[in-house]
Structure 1
Amino acid sequence: MPLETIRAAIAAMGTTLTPDLLGRVRALFDAEQQALAAAVSAAAVDLAYGPHERHRLDLYGTADGAPKPVLVFVHGGGFLRGDKGGDAPETWPNAAVGRMAAQAGLIGAVINYRLAPDHTWPAGSEDVLAALDWLVAHAADHGGDPQRIVLMGTSAGAVHVAGAIRLRPDLTIRGAVLLSGLYGHTPLDERDMLYYGAAADYAERAPREAMVATTLPLLVAAAEFDPPRFQAEFLGLMADRLARHGTMPRGHIASGHNHYSMAMHLGTADRRLADEIVAFVRETCA
């Protein structure tokens, strides 16, 4: 599908996250992403990084040559749903990020984590840390360099990545990529209480201060058609980082994209955000 057609379709969808929006966005990229899935197979699937049935990750990329940087992707889903995908072409959402990493000569790891409401704060961030610990111990067995790992998440996944940095400020990663996340710059949404608990606890539990204070390299992104709350979070983090450090982190506004297409288009012909991510990984892992 031509990029101009995709951009026009996404613009017409607006910024409201309606129940049918995810399927409509998926349809825009389905043919191209299924072709990518047919061309790039997973190197390993459903590797257990912990005891829960959701403690599973898939790896993409080859183990040839020198150890490669590892890009760990944490899916979104509003804290309540989401899946890492898999090796079958029709399960490409989220798995496409691992394939994008493999195409760039990296090792891509795509993880599942425990979901609310059965597993509340800080379960998601604890699972990111558990997956990271597993990769530090085992990445070398799959061609990855355990000393060169970058965490990346979208939406709730970005929150869990930020929360992992909050829980373990001395995290030995090279950097973090945050796509359309919520860090504590706007009020807690009622739906998100299923993960965070009462609104009164949100200021203490949100990763805002950790993301402002961390010295880890960051790439922070928002979409042109993100809901206003997510755009405000992006601007709030940028402003607070500027006030604290005298400079903003690396940033990207994905023009022509919305909250769902931010991650779903990675690996397609629209290379703008993918190139930013890959360049960030290579530079921080040099």
Structure 2
Amino acid sequence: MDMAAKIAALGQSLGPDVLQSVRDLFTEEQERLAASQPASFTGISYGPHERHRLDLYAPQGALSAPILIFLHGGGFLKGDKGSATNWPNANVGRMAAQSGFVGIVPNYRLAPDHQWPAGPEDVASVIAWVKANAAQHGGDPGRIVLAGTSAGAVHAAGYIKRSGTADIRAAILLSGLYGYTPLDERDTLYYGDPSLYPGRMPLEAVASTTLPLFIACAQHDPARFQQEFLALLQDRLARHGTMPRAMIVSGHNHYSLPMHLGTADRRLADEISAFIHDTTN
């Protein structure tokens, strides 16, 4: 059975068993990537909280390279930037470095202890650190692309809603929720009082922004994420007369969408790389 068939067999559901199964599919290849592209610096503090830490992945000899900031997922409640021995999410920073970019992978505060707008506030702090410090690590602070998957995509969109787009060149949103579908009980642990949802979801900001966007979902994403993806594309078309760059990644699910980056399956990685080049040059 090939990789796509194994992922398809897992269906569209979420949960720790599916997550572990997907991780197992890519561990051997991702551990090779980890050995060949170690982090340049780890555990850098960008704020006062214990989760205000980021890792930096820079290509050898980088000089004024574009910068990719990647925000992990985890349903607002979980998630980690990864490490030398825990490859998920760190693999995106490594992929960035292998593509000639400076990769930044931070942790951020989690619900329920930290509710809206903790996510976009932390993103703003990461970007402030990058603008102040990236040049000494070979990055160009004037060429930042913000990316996130799942809850990370929501926080990236939330940053656009609260802080605007002056400090970033573009955004990459993978399997995010933007406000087109009803929120569930898990979401309330982050957003709080349901009566406040319309003012907290990033729908209007993402739909109306002129910032270049690359939006993707997986063939086997849960239906809600696919509905959000399609609704955002339709809304963008209605508002702008054209859709943003977008991709439905065949043969992948919600977890494998970010976890396969850096492997031999280069389809999404190549689209991301081309998007970063096109929006930062």
Match of 2:218 among 217, 223, 233: 223
Q: Deviations over 1:26-61 (max 9, x none)?
A: 000000000100111100001111111100100001
After TM superposition, the structure 1 stretch with the greater mean CA deviation from structure 2, 62-71 or 130-139, is 62-71
Give the whole-Å Cα distance in 2 for the aligned partners of 1:65 and 1:169: 28
Match of 2:49 among 45, 48, 52: 52
Partner residue in 1 for 2:261: 266
After TM superposition, the structure 1 stretch with the greater mean CA deviation from structure 2, 148-157 or 8-17, is 8-17
Give the whole-Å Cα distance in 2 for the aligned partners of 1:17 and 1:78: 10
Match of 1:237 among 232, 244, 253: 232
Using the TM superposition, give the Cα deviation of residue 125 of structure 1 relative to its aligned residue in structure 2, in angstroms.
1.0
Using the TM superposition, give the Cα deviation of residue 199 of structure 1 relative to its aligned residue in structure 2, in angstroms.
2.1
For the 8 Å contact 1:50–1:130, the answer to whether it is kept is yes
Partner residue in 2 for 1:127: 122
For the 8 Å contact 2:59–2:98, the answer to whether it is kept is no
Partner residue in 1 for 2:203: 208
Check 1:277–1:170 CA distance in 2 against 1; reply closer, same or farther (3 A cut): closer
Give the counterpart letter for 1:172 in structure 2. D
Partner residue in 2 for 1:141: 136
SS of 1:145's partner is: strand
Give the whole-Å Cα distance in 2 for the aligned partners of 1:159 and 1:24: 25
Match of 1:84 among 81, 84, 87: 81
Report matched runs for 1:14-163 at 5 Å: 14-62=11-59, 64-86=61-83, 88=84, 90-163=85-158
Q: TM-score, normalised by structure 2?
A: 0.98
For the 8 Å contact 1:34–1:92, the answer to whether it is kept is yes
Using the TM superposition, give the Cα deviation of residue 66 of structure 1 relative to its aligned residue in structure 2, in angstroms.
2.8
After TM superposition, the structure 1 stretch with the greater mean CA deviation from structure 2, 120-129 or 59-68, is 59-68
Q: In percent, how many aligned pairs have the same letter?
A: 63
Give the counterpart letter for 2:39 in structure 1. A
Give the counterpart letter for 1:33 in structure 2. Q
Give the counterpart letter for 1:23 in structure 2. Q
Partner residue in 2 for 1:13: 10
Give the whole-Å Cα distance in 1 for the aligned partners of 2:62 and 2:7: 40
Match of 1:197 among 187, 192, 200: 192
For the 8 Å contact 1:155–1:181, the answer to whether it is kept is yes
Give the whole-Å Cα distance in 2 for the aligned partners of 1:12 and 1:193: 31
Using the TM superposition, give the Cα deviation of residue 63 of structure 1 relative to its aligned residue in structure 2, in angstroms.
5.7
Using the TM superposition, give the Cα deviation of residue 103 of structure 1 relative to its aligned residue in structure 2, in angstroms.
0.4
For the 8 Å contact 1:58–1:110, the answer to whether it is kept is yes
Using the TM superposition, give the Cα deviation of residue 81 of structure 1 relative to its aligned residue in structure 2, in angstroms.
0.6
- Number of residue pairs matched by the alignment: 281
Q: List runs of 5+ in structure 2 lacking aligned partners.
A: none
Moved over 3 A (4+): none
Cα RMSD of the aligned pairs, angstroms, is 1.0
Partner residue in 2 for 1:166: 161
Check 1:23–1:141 CA distance in 2 against 1; reply closer, same or farther (3 A cut): same
Give the counterpart letter for 2:27 in structure 1. D
Q: TM-score, normalised by structure 1?
A: 0.96
Q: List runs of 5+ in structure 1 lacking aligned partners.
A: none
Give the whole-Å Cα distance in 1 for the aligned partners of 2:62 and 2:26: 32
Give the whole-Å Cα distance in 1 for the aligned partners of 2:147 and 2:214: 9
Give the whole-Å Cα distance in 1 for the aligned partners of 2:47 and 2:208: 30
Using the TM superposition, give the Cα deviation of residue 204 of structure 1 relative to its aligned residue in structure 2, in angstroms.
1.3
SS of 2:237's partner is: helix
Q: Deviations over 1:83-117 (max 9, x none)?
A: 0011x2x3110000000000001100001000000
